[in-house]
Amino acid sequence: MENNINLPENSYHTEKVTYLKQSGTQTMAKSFMANVFMLMSFALVVSGLVAYLFSSNDALLHTLITPTGLSPLGYIVVFAPLAFTLVMQLGFNKMSALTLGALFAILAVVMGMSLSFIFLIYTSSSIFVCFFSAAGMFGVMAVMGYTTNKDLTTFGNIMYMGVIGIVIASVINFFMHSEQMSYIIGVIGTLVFTGITAYYVQKIKAMGEGLDMQDPTAAKLAIWGALMLYITFINLFLSLLRVFGGRRR
């Protein structure tokens, strides 16, 4: 006759295994987030250098602006970042990590060219103040998104709808040139992009948990995460400029 004996579960061993799993998951998430922020920072540095180079060089600036307004290249530069973002998102599954990385690098350069226009509109001091203000706000919300246990999915979806509205309004105002509308877009944009930062960081953290960093998909996801945070930061910065930026006379 077979005896079925139920041995007591070794609670210490179970707790140890659970702790090791959680520790490993947190380590992978931290490593993934570090890669994301490194790529984002690289893109911001590239954009900043290109923006300064074009704004301080008349020959380069004249390739974007003519006496009658934007040149054909200038119009391309203005709308190219949105096109690059859509291409990278729609082609994520088909593109390799190398292709996505190259597109992200080109996007950073084109965005820098586009950002060179702000030096013609706003004073240098207000640009730097708004940039560091955006960095501070972005950093606070990133920490909140990383540390909170509350699911921000619903909140993020609402913020994302706000982003779509801002994009549409910005395109319309590009042709209307309404300062009042630009101010309103800036106020709403500051709130929306501040809030969506926490949502994106939480979402990116969740992707990093349990992710094998040797998997080729990990590199693609890191680029995607960096793209989302990069675009969010740029838009937060521009929103602050619309509201608080001191214009050149």
184, 243 Cβ separation under 8 angstroms: no
β-partners of residue 66 are 69
What is the Cβ-side half-sphere exposure of residue 102, based on CA atoms within 13 angstroms? 5
Helix (H), strand (E) at residue 74 = helix 72-90
Q: Quote the CA–CA distance of 247 and 67 in Å, as a whole number.
A: 20
pTM above 0.75, yes or no: yes
Q: Domains of the chain: which residue ranges?
A: 27-244
Total residue length of the chain: 249
What residue type is assigned to position 98 of the chain? L
| Weakly modelled stretches of the chain, pLDDT under 70 | 1-26, 213, 249
Check residue 87 and give its pLDDT.
Answer: 92
Check residue 98 and give its pLDDT.
Answer: 93
Q: Quote the CA–CA distance of 34 and 195 in Å, as a whole number.
A: 21
Segment 171-227, tens digit of pLDDT: 898 888 888 999 999 999 999 999 999 999 999 998 888 777 677 788 899 999 999
